[in-house]
Structure 1
């Protein structure tokens, strides 16, 4: 009996590991990324007890984790770049990255999880180090500001890669979007508002983002860019009002926009399960994608 239990546990672990694996990894730059050529920190991944999920930190070589449409599933021709959050100190790579990519893959959508550049972490616990840094908010924002621009550059590079390789992945031009969580939402909005016109996303999504005053006052492009916004009112970082401001910005520009603001869910809910209505946000996202013509 013990042998059978061990066998089934090993099978489960193998299948779980297989589900986590992406199809390929793409480096976004040949050689060192411009603007951070002198960085020497080493990229690492760990389970954060504070965030209750896996995080990646010290990213110096930006890359894309590619998840093609699952076998047996019709390719919709849609592609989505996913920018995880983490305060530009780390990336919530599972709950705001690979799990969503797997879900999109099962829907026939090609997903690209973006690992963008981050502020250097000195310890082996980026989440707790970030919380310590936040005690001096001014210093935290000063150290983060230049890295935000590098991360935005990585977002642009990711979209350029998807456009350049659309035919190889069976992606249709006009069906390339981006979704960002928290800090990743800033990366996503930077690509929408400041990217060269030929690679501006065709649609975008912002999950519990905290767009800066600059992003909230920059004019929305004239190109039609439907926007999906989702957050929770009890966000510990008190960012929910920023989602409302972003909604109003898109609405006033005559753009298509949809807002889901849940009573409970906190910050960083991602694909985690809390047995709350917020758990269903991904189904609402699917409904929206179908309504906009980006999913079957």
Structure 2
């Protein structure tokens, strides 16, 4: 408790704090001895790779605006990199300003052997079957990281000033895949209360345990997604509605893949407006 009180003091003073999800080495990757690295392929959009230590960065709700809702955010990057700004910290800041306590999840990814993970990843994007085979062990680890994040958030809800029954999980691309894997893998008591998979990839989702409780879903994708992921979102919407879970689908005419919080002068720029409206309608905002 003393440690956590110190954490709260840090949150109050700094506005955010990063915590480790595991007390020691993350289970399953105890022998990983490489260091996390960062690069910025485009302005104001850092990428992380070689992540070995899962963390949560906490963005408390803006002062006087907290409404009890919280959301864990999983950035994308094909389980090789993490788009930590556009699909992570920038989303968290936007949520915090609206009274939602946000948590950016840094989860384990596949090791890159050189200084430019894009150079290794791009050829694999032409062969998703091979990419899925390479990613499979790490997807399982990342899923456990996501479940561990839920344990932390729900277990510390009172001290964090949030409602454990108003906790959502959202993610982008691979983070959307992770969102679905966490939901369909976690035990019932740890399943998120709502989800927002954004341009998610369905073929790497291995979880199978549907939630017993009604779990609203906000689903978004661009019709011109250059990775061909639009049908994945459409099929998820159909599955969710067929299972009697509330669901809302937005297919934007343009925006390509990976629009995140970047403004591209495309219709996908409005996804945050639609998401905010959905949160209000669902009483999460």
Q: Deviations over 1:51-94 (max 9, x none)?
A: 982101111010001100123x3211000000000000000000
Query: Cα–Cα, structure 1 residues 269 and 35, in superposed 2: closer, same or farther, change >3 Å?
Result: same
Measure the CA separation in 1 of the matches of 2:68 and 2:44: 34
Query: Cα–Cα, structure 1 residues 101 and 214, in superposed 2: closer, same or farther, change >3 Å?
Result: closer
Measure the CA separation in 1 of the matches of 2:132 and 2:49: 18
Confirm or deny that 1:70 pairs with 2:45: no
Which residue, 210, 216, 220 being the options, matches 1:220? 210
Name the structure 1 match of 2:202.
211
Name the structure 1 match of 2:76.
85
Name the structure 2 match of 1:168.
159
Q: TM-score, normalised by structure 1?
A: 0.88
Measure the CA separation in 2 of the matches of 1:233 and 1:92: 21
Which residue, 26, 30, 53 being the options, matches 1:61? 53
Query: Cα–Cα, structure 1 residues 42 and 174, in superposed 2: closer, same or farther, change >3 Å?
Result: same
Confirm or deny that 1:292 pairs with 2:282: yes
Confirm or deny that 1:198 pairs with 2:210: no
Give the conservation status (yes or no) of the 8 Å contact 1:83–1:181: yes
Measure the CA separation in 2 of the matches of 1:214 and 1:79: 24
Query: Cα–Cα, structure 1 residues 184 and 22, in superposed 2: closer, same or farther, change >3 Å?
Result: farther
Give the conservation status (yes or no) of the 8 Å contact 2:170–2:176: yes
5+ residue gaps, structure 2, are: 1-13
Name the structure 2 match of 1:267.
257
Which residue, 94, 97, 100 being the options, matches 1:103? 94
Q: Secondary structure at the match of 1:192?
A: helix
Q: Secondary structure at the match of 1:45?
A: strand
Measure the CA separation in 2 of the matches of 1:245 and 1:138: 19
1:213 positional shift = 7.2
Name the structure 1 match of 2:228.
238
Measure the CA separation in 2 of the matches of 1:291 and 1:278: 20
Q: Secondary structure at the match of 1:258?
A: strand
Give the conservation status (yes or no) of the 8 Å contact 2:193–2:215: yes
After TM superposition, the structure 1 = structure 2 runs for residues 42-53 of structure 1, keeping only pairs within 5 Å, are: 42-49=35-42, 53=45
1:234 positional shift = 0.5
Measure the CA separation in 2 of the matches of 1:274 and 1:160: 36
5+ residue gaps, structure 1, are: 1-20
Measure the CA separation in 2 of the matches of 1:52 and 1:23: 19
1:219 positional shift = 5.8
Name the structure 1 match of 2:16.
23
Q: TM-score, normalised by structure 2?
A: 0.91
Measure the CA separation in 1 of the matches of 2:18 and 2:218: 27
Name the structure 2 match of 1:11.
none
Measure the CA separation in 2 of the matches of 1:94 and 1:104: 14
Give the conservation status (yes or no) of the 8 Å contact 2:44–2:85: no
1:142 positional shift = 1.5
RMSD: 1.7
Larger radius of gyration: 1
